[in-house]
Structure 1
Amino acid sequence: MLRIGLTGGIGSGKSTVAYYFTMLGVPIADADEIAREITISNKIVFRKIKTHFGKEILNEENSIDRPKLRRLIFKYSKKRRWLEHLLHPIIISVLKTKIRKINAPYCVLVMPLLTETFHSINFLDRILVVDAPLSLQIQRIKMRNRFSDNQIRLILKSQSNSTERLSIADDIIVNDKTFSILWKMVFRLHCLYLKLAKKHFPSLNNSI
């Protein structure tokens, strides 16, 4: 099975691209969703986060206050690196487990921090980067998340930049036009990935 890593900065449209692949029947695994599941279901991880950040990181239901945690890790880079160091190995382990259970020509792994962790990941066959002009990213973030200008600045500062992401790309989608055009770009890549899967894994059933 061909394994595609999908990444892109906040507001680039990678979630929409992932959704389009889902509509085409492609299995998807999302690192952010796995991270959320881990912080809820893994008691050891929960205790470590609670100990490191203090009880004030919890909400009224005694679970992690994700908006508060997000503000802290984007404001303080050391706290963000600590959390990434804690979660990253577990996320990778879960992703590998999910991959082993998939029976399809190819799958897409949504990994927002792929550029930052690229050198420690050896299980991807291709990397797809979704890119967009910075001004458009900011516009989308404001519309979707209603973050302040300062919050957006901190988030963008914490992520790799466009040049760094594009440097690891095998395939690139520049998402600066309509949803219809974006769909066509995703469909073209879908056809390419099916072709590559058939070439490299001829014994697979090449249908989704």
Structure 2
Amino acid sequence: MNGKPSALVVALTGGVAAGKGAVTRRFEALGVPVHDADVAAREVIAPGSEGLAEVVAAFGPGVLDPEGRLDRPAMRRRVFAEPAARRGLEAIIHPRVRAWLHERALAERAPYCLLAIPLLAENHAHYRWVDRVLLVDVPASVQLARLVARDGIDPTLAQRMIDQQASRAERLALADDVIDNSGVESALDAAVADLHQRYLTLATA
């Protein structure tokens, strides 16, 4: 991808159920632009898009719901059961998500912006253009308990979901900054406020 954003670009990541959304909401409340890979992943395969056409060509029209949108629950079950299907779907979606995020970072006129990228550790080689990595970190036991409670699933399935992602150690190795989210959510206020000031200082240095 060509072009370096003029804004400081901070990639925010963390494992499933780590509390990334609670952190991004606090940055947004401070006026920081947040561009979300999950939003991008929906937009790049919206009805009528080239991305969705490529998904249908690869997997057949049975992946669509009656309204012509991707049947996400059915697709999720399929890629969870078939690693080759998951890789095929990611090969269609991930490059488009990266381009979407890069375009928005290039257009950014704020001092800094956040890119919320859950699978950053799995795809870090493609995001060399970001300036910093912010990790929302929790111990594995906390992550498992929160995922079970959040999604109403059994611990075995929750652990399988966690195991499909990069390890905590891999994410920590990438991080420039770490927010410990193992405590109460209100503790995030001070952590985010401190990082906000740090990033403003870096952006204007």
TM-score by length of 2: 0.90
| Aligned match for 1:62, one of 45, 59, 68 | 68
Q: Hey, what does 1:178 align to over in structure 2?
A: 184
Task: State the alpha-carbon separation in 2 of the partners of residues 122 and 132 from structure 1.
Answer: 25
CA contact (8 A) 1:77 1:158 kept: no
2:198 matches 1:192 = yes
Aligned residues: 199
Which of 156, 162, 170 in structure 2 is aligned with 1:156? Answer: 162
Q: 1:57 to 1:152 in 2, by over 3 A?
A: farther
Aligned to 2:174, the other structure's residue is in SS state coil
Residue equivalent to 2:45: 39
Q: Within 1, Cα distance between the matches of 2:150 and 2:107?
A: 33
The farther-off stretch of 155-164 and 51-60 is: 51-60
State the match for 1:11 in structure 2. Answer: 17
Q: Is the 1:74–1:158 Cα contact (8 Å) retained in structure 2?
A: no
- 1:87 pairs, out of 69, 90, 93, with 93
- Superposed displacement of residue 33, structure 1: 0.7
For residue 173 of structure 1, give the secondary structure of its aligned residue in structure 2: strand
Distance 1:147 1:65 in 2: 21
Residue of structure 1 equivalent to 2:150: 144
* Structure 1: unaligned runs, 5 residues or longer: 200-208
Residue 50 of structure 1, CA deviation: 2.1
State the distance in 2 between where 1:151 and 1:72 align.
15
Q: Give 1:164 deviation, angstroms.
A: 0.5
- Out of 118, 137, 154, the position equivalent to 1:131 is 137
Change (3 A) 1:45 1:12: same
Cα distance between partner residues in 1 of 2:42 and 2:56 = 15
Shift in Å, 1:122: 2.1
- Structure 2 unaligned regions, length at least 5: 1-6
8 Å contact kept, 2:47–2:69: no
